[in-house]
Structure 1
Amino acid sequence: MKNQYLFIDFDSTNYKRRILWKIIGLVCLFLLVALSGFWIGEEQIEANMGEKHLSPSLDHPFGTDWLGRDMFFRTLLGLHLSWKVGLFAAVISTVIALTLSLLSSINKFFDSLVTMLIDLFLSIPHLVALILIAFVLGGGVKGIVIGIAFTHWPSLTRVLRAEILQIKSSEYVHISKKLGKSRMWIIRHHYLPQLAPQLFVGFILLFPHAILHESAITFLGFGLSPEQPAIGIILSEAMKYLTMGMWWLVVFPGLSLFGMVVIFDALGNNLRKLLNPN
């Protein structure tokens, strides 16, 4: 019976790994699509009034808009821009979470301070705080990145803080302290190796949220400027033409954004299940 349970656990782990590899393949595909924005020139998204309002075809897979611009290339540029904003924001937010969680390990005062900050930011809706920060900073890429980074760290910080509390009570940490090891040595050799899996999974899970919130506030008019081909701008501009039957202006950019968010979210969740089956 014991061997049977072990066999089931092993088979379940292999199944999770197969699912994970399939998701990684889709992630690589989306990354290639997003990175293709580096090679798209202005001539590929320039206005052409002779080809406006064209429905999807072989020449224009996503159709054209009211100015005759190719929606396929505009969508690729929008995904590329969302990918860059999400990446920078997720990296900064992850660094903030790591810094605060390590700060909470110093003593009870800093732990209480970090806990208070976590509760404070979690009590404010992400979108409201993000809009306020982006508005104060004048919008644009800088305002969006800083706004997302400063509103998405609390959940990851709470997870890392709980992990550090467990590590602090470990016997090997007490032995290192008795041997006279410095705090930085303990952080470098004990805390960071243990926190690395949680940190990586947390970053992967922050990434799709950053992309989605960037598109949301850009759609509402508080984010990127209208001159930039962001997905939020594309969807916002297309809403007035939706009643005219130009469904492709909304469907293809929206599905592309949704697909990127879902795939990266699935990657983070499956990584978390694989690293922590319990």
Structure 2
Amino acid sequence: MAFVLAGAFAPLPYNPVVPDAAVILLGPSADHWAGTDGSGFDVFSRTIAAAANDIPTALLGTLASLAVGLPLGLLSSTNGRWSDAFMRGLDVFQSFPIVILSIVVVTIFDDAITGVIVAIMIINVPRFARLARSEAVVLRQTRFIEAAQAVGVGTPRLLRKHLLPNVLPVTLAQTSLAAAHAMVVIAALSFLGAGVTPPEPSWGYMIQEGARAITIGAWWVSLMPGLAIFIVIMSFNLIADGLLLASERSDLE
């Protein structure tokens, strides 16, 4: 969150989308805290600004996949004949390479950010659907669900009032992990040139530029964006651990 707020509102030392040809590939100094890249951009300013693109994109794609995958998983926990067919369809879908699938999805959309959000959603829907289904199947064997069915509670009410509240805490923890995975996908797409279009800053694209610059000793170009990705992914994982711990405590109570 701090990264997003900084990227959106904090005053940056230099314009992150306007290069300066006079300061190409300068090392870290008092003027440029993290150095400059091969185009003359200030690395620190672009790293902070990129957070306003990459993190919201990851969160939006993850939340969209949660909104689609959670209901599908709950519905597939019923004993209908379509349930097994749905799960087999997920198996086939997940057999496709993630990066290739993401590139195909992104190229369909004119707006790169929209394409990345949709790609993240498509990738993570099976993850949420499987998790929700497995949790719901276990819950259906508990006595309070059997009691609800015995008194005539219909499937829609059973899903909404009894299964969803008990499945939601685990899926929320998974949401944080999926957001961390989404950050990796965004960085990979930008690294391959299929993400945010330059000069808009993106951590993956900055690392791609740094990979080329490191051959001539400009190690600082990729250091800041790589460190930012590490911090954000670590933060998402810590949030997931906290949510899981809170869920386990509530179950014990």
TM-score category, normalised to shorter length: 0.7 to 0.9
**How far does residue 159 in structure 1 lie from its aligned partner after superposition?**
1.8
Take 1:158 and 1:250, find their aligned partners in 2: how far apart are those partners?
Answer: 36
**How far does residue 206 in structure 1 lie from its aligned partner after superposition?**
0.4
Q: Judge which range, 181-190 or 243-252, deviates more.
A: 181-190
Render the CA deviation track for 1:11-30: whole Å, top value 9, x for unaligned: xxxxxxxxxxxxxxxxxxxx
Matched, 1:128 2:132: no
Matched, 1:33 2:20: no
Aligned residue number for residue 27 of structure 1? none
Aligned residue number for residue 51 of structure 1? 23
What amino acid sits opposite 1:177 in the alignment? Answer: Q
Contact 1:134 1:147 in 2 (8 A): yes
Q: Judge which range, 267-276 or 196-205, deviates more.
A: 267-276
| TM-score, normalising length: structure 1 | 0.81
What amino acid sits opposite 2:133 in the alignment? Answer: R
Aligned residue number for residue 244 of structure 2? 272
Q: Judge which range, 193-202 or 230-239, deviates more.
A: 230-239
Contact 1:85 1:141 in 2 (8 A): yes
Aligned residue number for residue 146 of structure 1? 118
Render the CA deviation track for 1:50-83: whole Å, top value 9, x for unaligned: 3332211233221122343221110011122110
Describe the SS at the equivalent of 1:151: helix
Take 2:68 and 2:85, find their aligned partners in 1: how far apart are those partners?
Answer: 14
The ranges of structure 1 where at least 4 consecutive aligned residues each deviate by more than 4 angstroms after the TM superposition are 40-43
**How far does residue 208 in structure 1 lie from its aligned partner after superposition?**
0.7
Q: Which runs of 5+ in 1 are unaligned?
A: 1-30
Take 1:175 and 1:270, find their aligned partners in 2: how far apart are those partners?
Answer: 32
Matches within 5 A, 1:81-160: 81-138=53-110, 140-160=112-132
Q: Judge which range, 84-93 or 166-175, deviates more.
A: 166-175
Aligned residue number for residue 174 of structure 1? 146
**How far does residue 227 in structure 1 lie from its aligned partner after superposition?**
2.8
Contact 1:100 1:114 in 2 (8 A): no
**How far does residue 84 in structure 1 lie from its aligned partner after superposition?**
0.9
| TM-score, normalising length: structure 2 | 0.88
Q: Which runs of 5+ in 2 are unaligned?
A: none
Contact 2:132 2:167 in 1 (8 A): yes
**How far does residue 139 in structure 1 lie from its aligned partner after superposition?**
6.2
CA-atom RMSD, angstroms? 2.3
Take 2:245 and 2:98, find their aligned partners in 1: how far apart are those partners?
Answer: 26
Render the CA deviation track for 1:167-207: whole Å, top value 9, x for unaligned: 22222223223333333322222111101211110111100
Contact 2:204 2:225 in 1 (8 A): no
How many residue pairs get matched? 248
Report sequence identity in percent. 26
Matched, 1:185 2:157: yes
Contact 1:126 1:152 in 2 (8 A): no
Aligned residue number for residue 259 of structure 1? 231
Describe the SS at the equivalent of 1:34: helix
Take 1:245 and 1:103, find their aligned partners in 2: how far apart are those partners?
Answer: 55
**Which one of 174, 182, 192 corresponds to residue 220 of structure 1?**
192
CA 1:39–1:258: 2 relative to 1, 3 Å: same
Contact 1:94 1:203 in 2 (8 A): yes
Take 1:33 and 1:145, find their aligned partners in 2: how far apart are those partners?
Answer: 19
Contact 1:205 1:269 in 2 (8 A): no
Take 1:159 and 1:190, find their aligned partners in 2: how far apart are those partners?
Answer: 16
Aligned residue number for residue 214 of structure 2? 242
**Which one of 164, 167, 173 corresponds to residue 136 of structure 2?**
164
